Structure 1
């Protein structure tokens, strides 16, 4: 009986230790090449996050959810962090931001025949801009009010490329990585970006302010991330 008790106690202790060393994270599927489906390997940001937690010798439990639901659950403390996201004022109130995972350039993508135009000139004449639900629109806000833009909001990014290629929308705002991925995937010939960079952004992991453990985890994460990225470059 004593032996059985010791075995059960040991198993319980091991399970508690393992749980205490396990981190839960969530991301979405439609932000390639940074995040893709689990079946496709997850994407380059997923690999970076996994490498970071391997450095920390911590177990990572990763879920894939629609972006808005994932963000809400993380803000409520149901996950330890979410990734990858750009900064905006609304999220600053809810999350601590990690050091940058990646730097990206956002461009306004348009039909090829109009790619010579300047941003303001284009938006004076072309109002229908595609940007998915859950994607950051903060940088578009001044243009929305100034030029009365009409935003088309599909649930995912891929329909924006399809609509733009068929000229059913006038333009779309996205980053160079994402555009290159879908232009190749969909064999698109009719889309180019305007020459001027619309904005430069950094992508981050977000840790919920609601969780008391977030600050300590963020410090560990940033240190490990620096080690991983320093080795990579």
Structure 2
């Protein structure tokens, strides 16, 4: 009897020590979408929404926030199940399954508040010195804008690539050391509040972009992506859910249409 009880106890302890399966998400500091808290933890609207989706799926989810390159390397090496926030590009579409879109955002040009002319298009920013965070996809997009201006026969912008975690670019704009700042609109507005910059304004939208959660194809089963997207759509269909999550950050809900699902080959 004693031996039997001992065996049962060993089995119980063994079961308790088994690792609990969890979905691993990685992200990077990209406020307001994804941020690092004072304790070094992931926070922000993206994580909040994913947490709700995980509860809907009855899954345990873990989050790590890393420098951008390390986060991308972690998911590429199969050390994380997914990464966010991710915009869709054709090359990424070859390597990743994309969730349903979480947010609609836009990129454009900020100018000093003292600049009185209306910016209606590229002809109105000829020869501007434009600051941008980089090297990054954002600076690549701005380079495409410059190339388009050359093709159109306009005087091209001059690009000034800087890092921006310390508010350097938004401060340079306020003091007119650059003519414009090209950025994600919500990010620039966040930086302005963070560093108490008031004398800048949004002048012109260049493009819109959807943000997703991305799952690496080589290590992800399609069934997981479908479960995640089905739970997300169930949550997003609740009246006012996305607006409540996103409006405090100046972010718009995304279009949730069959055309969007087809364009980005979304599994659901």
Give the shorter-chain TM-score range: 0.7 to 0.9
Counting only pairs closer than 5 Å after superposition, residues 45-124 of structure 1 correspond to structure 2 as 45-114=46-115, 116-124=118-126
Change (3 A) 1:52 1:133: farther
TM-score by length of 1: 0.85
**Cross-structure match for 1:8:** 10
Equivalent of residue 172 in structure 2, options 150, 163, 171: 163
Structure 1 position 77, deviation (Å): 1.1
Residue in 1 that maps onto 2:159? 150
Q: State the SS of the aligned residue for 1:93.
A: helix
Q: Is the 8 A contact 2:127 2:158 kept in 1?
A: no
CA-CA distance at 1:52 after TM superposition: 0.8
CA drift at 1:70: 0.4
Matched, 1:222 2:224: no
Would you say 1:199 and 2:201 are equivalent positions?
A: no
Q: 1:13-42: CA deviations, max 9, x gaps?
A: 4554x633x01111122x222212134871
Moved more, 176-185 or 134-143: 134-143
Whether contact under 8 Å (2:81, 2:220) holds in the other structure is: no
Q: Deviations over 1:69-97 (max 9, x none)?
A: 10121122111001111112232232111
Computing the radius of gyration from Cα coordinates, the structure with the larger value is 2
Structure 1 gap segments, 5+ residues each: none
Q: In structure 2, what is the equivalent of residue 177 of structure 1?
A: 186
Instruction: Go from structure 1 to structure 2 and tell me whether the alpha carbon gap of 1:180 and 1:155 turns closer, same or farther (over 3 Å shift).
Output: closer
Contact 1:35 1:44 in 2 (8 A): yes
User: RMSD over aligned Cα, in angstroms?
Assistant: 2.5
The 2-side partners of 1:155 and 1:177 are apart by 14
Q: CA deviation at 1:153?
A: 3.4
Residue 36 (1) aligns with residue 45 (2): no
**Structure 2 unmatched ranges of 5 or more:** 151-155, 243-268
Give me the TM-score of the superposition, normalised by structure 2: 0.75
